[in-house]
Structure 1
Amino acid sequence: MRLACCFFIALFIETGCERSSKLHTPPASSTWEQVLKQARGQTVTIAMWDGDPLVNSYMRDYVASELKQQHDITLRAVGGQGNALVNKLMVDLEAGRTTGDFDVMWINGETFYQLREIKALYGPFTERLPNNQYIDWENPFIAVDFQQPVDGYECPWGNVQLALIYDSEAISEPPRTKEALATWIKRHPGRFTFDNSFTGMTFLKSLLIEFAGGPEALKGPFNDEVYETASTQLWDWVRDVQPYLWREGKTFPEGVAQLHQLFSNDEVDFTMSNNDGEVDNKVLQGVLPKTARGYVLESGTIRNSHYLGIPVNAPHKAAALVLCNFLISPEAQLKKASPEVWGDGTVLSTKLLPEEWKAKFEQIPGRERIAPRSELEKKALMEPVSEIMVRLHADFREKIIEHVSE
């Protein structure tokens, strides 16, 4: 399907997209001051996930205000992510639209792969950004997106790691291995579950990596034999604990928001999040109780980055570059990392930051209920290829959900 999609518009890409890129792009010889001058007075549109009020507030109240004040750029945020972005750009490219509807996109993983395949991304551009100097491109959690090298075609924006969250009032020491977790679940029937959406599948994916043999086992292209062997063990583990899960494992929360609600209502003793900073963030919001604490398994949990991409037909590429540069500035990254603002992990390397910023990032106010990010990174697992997640979703429905009704 991917190859068919790419072939479908391949001939157009070499003509229309190239003309579009030249039409709207500041020349490669431009200095940063010239980029800033070209961007002044422009409106930059970012397509992004808009499902969290704090994320929306960060963009609307802080980023938009600073962009206007510092650079006379107006920020416009619109909803859009994943397949919707890919489909929109495919239609644009096929129709020869050299002026698109947005300038920057919040992307990663499968979306990045598909956009690169159809040559819908402008780049490489990250080295044009002055704040790129603070990003450690030797870090694979930054330089590689779901096993695909970034190569300057997307700018890292945030970095997060899956964390399990437990009630410290009910649990003095949480289980830290898959074996200990299975034992705990059986001893406390009905007090554990996971959602059947992205967060829950990321939890299962973290276990899958251990069943496969550890951090290196699923690196590289998709290997059906390795996946089948490891996933067989994973589904055996799930079926073993399933009768002891919430509602006897006959149903699962539809998303992490519902799982958070079960936790807050004291129906379960665990919840989880793809963002290690969310335990403090959600406590401050009143979504989770003050007794909530976060941790990662001894075998590790998935850590990944989310990125900013610029379409080849972005109408305001100068403003797009300025927006990306601002969003990876120490000021904007520190603001975003604060749990009371967002709690999103920084993509900046403390080793590369000026001295006055290092301590600020190492002691982020409000991060109290989980270990420092530098400690969690020791147990971080890289995202395998996106096919793994697709297979996990399908197999979970077939082998676990449908299995219950048989």
Structure 2
Amino acid sequence: MKIYPITAFSIVALALSACSSEGASEAPNTDSLLTDDWDLIQEAAQGQEVNLYMWGGNDNINNYLDEWVAPRMKEQHGIELTRVPMNDAQDIINQLLDEKTAGKTNGSMDIVWINGENFKAAKDNGLLWGDFTGQLPNFNDYVDAEAPEISEDFGEPVEGLEAPWGKAQFVFVHDEDRHETPPRSIAELAGWVQEHPGQFTYPAPPDFTGSAFVRHVLYETTGGHEQYAQPAAEIEDLEQRLEPMWQYLNSIEPYLWREGETYPESLAKQDQLFASGEIGMTMSYDPALAASEVLKGRFPESTRTYLLDEGTLANTHFLSIPFNASDKAGALVAINELMSPAAQTAKLSPENWGDMTALDFEKLSPEDQQAMNEVDLGEATLSIEELEQNRLPELSSDYIDIIEKGWTEHVAKE
């Protein structure tokens, strides 16, 4: 699955922070819905129209929301859930920034799908409603709130401002009929691309998946992720530490697709190259993407996914409620339903989406555990157990902007 951290709006966000807040009006964090009984919230949600603003570039995700979730929301809760597609998460943040600047108190967004830098920018600029997750029965019953991947979002404390919707983990994708033994480390990959010139590339950062690939190179070439647990500003020699990453990326560039003269501008473009056989590998932050593409007939049936021996990056994606959402009760009920075992199990199927559950498996009933275990993830998808045993933590968002700008300077321009 694909979630996009944003850096382009940082200048706008900083400008907003510097502005006076006298003209901005927003619902206070003491709104009664944050303390009301759940029965009262459900009653208030009846008949509300809830707009879910989200990236709209994946047909599977869109169909899951439109055909599986929305009808059940209407039937079970009397809520009209409308998915509002956006080209980029930056558009969501920028619209909320504009609405806050204008003092708009009845916004069009009731739920937003965000994570990473999106969340930090929204939090820093007061664009989110309040600490709401403790009001959700399914959050309280099925989520480990203390787990690092739940309590923090790219290093930023969540503080109840967003609810976990699913989990993502980076996987490499290959056609085992063409390349039976793919490289299992960044070091092995360097040799592989030289032996198979033109068969590998990666999307150009700031594409989310391409940027994540570069972070894998960072971890392996500079001695692991532990050294980046502190804020980037506190590492005086950060530029020197990053140098091995730039050296590696430049060393493989002549052997990449089109000799590294150009890079796919998006993961979708890269997947097209793989589907047509032009390259031998692709990648995804969605462990079930390959299985979904096989089901559609786009990827060959011999497509498989794999992890690096040292593990791959993993994160959680979230749903949040804007400060000026018009139908907050409906938003609470909708998010709670999206976190239900039934909705999470349906979401897990590659036929719907293939998104990994945000729920703590051990907190589920035996019946719900069995239902999830019986979901056919497809031969191209690794087991949940293997994925969870090989998770690497994400960098905090302050590093990502530095790395993406650095890639343009040190790789794309050289």
Normalised-by-shorter TM-score class:
over 0.9
1:253 aligns with 2:264: yes
Q: Select which of 358, 364, 379 maps to 1:368.
A: 379
Q: Is the 8 A contact 1:203 1:301 kept in 2?
A: no
Residues 350-380 of structure 1: CA distance to partner in whole angstroms, max 9, x if unpaired?
Answer: 1111111113323421332232122122221
Q: Select which of 388, 391, 397 maps to 1:377.
A: 388
Q: Select which of 209, 223, 228 maps to 2:219.
A: 209
Q: Is the 8 A contact 1:9 1:118 kept in 2?
A: no
Residues 144-185 of structure 1: CA distance to partner in whole angstroms, max 9, x if unpaired?
Answer: 111001111001111111110011002222111111111111
1:34 aligns with 2:45: no
- Corresponding residue of 1:141: 149
- Corresponding residue of 2:170: 162
Q: Select which of 47, 66, 70 maps to 2:72.
A: 66
Q: Is the 8 A contact 2:55 2:89 kept in 1?
A: no
1:52 aligns with 2:58: yes
Q: Is the 8 A contact 2:143 2:359 kept in 1?
A: yes
Q: Select which of 343, 346, 353 maps to 1:342.
A: 353
- Corresponding residue of 2:83: 77
Q: Is the 8 A contact 2:70 2:81 kept in 1?
A: yes
Q: Which amino acid aligns with 2:45?
A: A
- Corresponding residue of 2:186: 178
Structure 1 unaligned spans of 5+: none
Aligned to 1:17, the other structure's residue is in SS state coil
Q: Is the 8 A contact 1:103 1:316 kept in 2?
A: yes
Q: Which amino acid aligns with 2:181?
A: E
Compared with structure 1, are the counterparts of its residues 349 and 9 closer, same or farther at alpha carbon in structure 2 (3 Å cutoff)?
A: farther
Whole-Å Cα distance in 1 between the matches of residues 115 and 231 of structure 2? 17
- Corresponding residue of 2:3: none
Q: Select which of 97, 101, 121 maps to 1:94.
A: 101
Q: Select which of 368, 380, 397 maps to 2:408.
A: 397
Aligned to 2:389, the other structure's residue is in SS state helix
Q: Select which of 334, 338, 358 maps to 1:327.
A: 338
Whole-Å Cα distance in 2 between the matches of residues 321 and 9 of structure 1? 30
Give the TM-score of the pair, scaled to structure 2: 0.91
1:48 Cα deviation from its structure 2 partner: 0.7
Q: Is the 8 A contact 1:211 1:230 kept in 2?
A: no
Residues 183-222 of structure 1: CA distance to partner in whole angstroms, max 9, x if unpaired?
Answer: 1111111111111122111111122123332232222312
Higher mean C-alpha deviation, range 127-136 or range 190-199: 190-199
1:299 aligns with 2:285: no
Compared with structure 1, are the counterparts of its residues 362 and 213 closer, same or farther at alpha carbon in structure 2 (3 Å cutoff)?
A: farther
Structural mapping, 1:3-42, within 5 Å: 3-11=14-22, 16-18=25-27, 25-42=31-48
Compared with structure 1, are the counterparts of its residues 18 and 374 closer, same or farther at alpha carbon in structure 2 (3 Å cutoff)?
A: same
1:111 Cα deviation from its structure 2 partner: 1.2
Compared with structure 1, are the counterparts of its residues 152 and 29 closer, same or farther at alpha carbon in structure 2 (3 Å cutoff)?
A: closer
Whole-Å Cα distance in 1 between the matches of residues 211 and 150 of structure 2? 22
Compared with structure 1, are the counterparts of its residues 9 and 108 closer, same or farther at alpha carbon in structure 2 (3 Å cutoff)?
A: farther
Compared with structure 1, are the counterparts of its residues 217 and 64 closer, same or farther at alpha carbon in structure 2 (3 Å cutoff)?
A: same
Whole-Å Cα distance in 2 between the matches of residues 174 and 212 of structure 1? 22
1:310 aligns with 2:321: yes
Whole-Å Cα distance in 2 between the matches of residues 226 and 164 of structure 1? 31
Whole-Å Cα distance in 1 between the matches of residues 237 and 170 of structure 2? 23
1:331 Cα deviation from its structure 2 partner: 0.5
Residues 292-331 of structure 1: CA distance to partner in whole angstroms, max 9, x if unpaired?
Answer: 1101111222111111110111111100000100000001
1:151 aligns with 2:159: yes
- Corresponding residue of 2:8: none
Q: Which amino acid aligns with 1:329?
A: S
Compared with structure 1, are the counterparts of its residues 235 and 28 closer, same or farther at alpha carbon in structure 2 (3 Å cutoff)?
A: closer
Aligned to 2:356, the other structure's residue is in SS state coil
1:402 Cα deviation from its structure 2 partner: 1.7
Aligned to 2:376, the other structure's residue is in SS state coil
Higher mean C-alpha deviation, range 310-319 or range 216-225: 216-225
Q: Number of aligned residue pairs: give it.
A: 398
- Corresponding residue of 2:7: none
Whole-Å Cα distance in 2 between the matches of residues 235 and 153 of structure 1? 36
Q: Once superposed, what is the RMSD of the aligned Cα atoms? A: 1.8
Aligned to 2:83, the other structure's residue is in SS state strand
1:18 Cα deviation from its structure 2 partner: 4.0
Q: Select which of 110, 118, 134 maps to 2:117.
A: 110
Give the TM-score of the pair, scaled to structure 1: 0.93
Q: Is the 8 A contact 2:145 2:151 kept in 1?
A: yes
Aligned to 1:351, the other structure's residue is in SS state helix
Whole-Å Cα distance in 2 between the matches of residues 360 and 9 of structure 1? 52
Higher mean C-alpha deviation, range 207-216 or range 257-266: 207-216
User: Which consecutive segments of 4 or more residues in structure 1 shift more than 6 A?
Assistant: none
- Corresponding residue of 1:244: 255
Q: Is the 8 A contact 1:26 1:318 kept in 2?
A: no
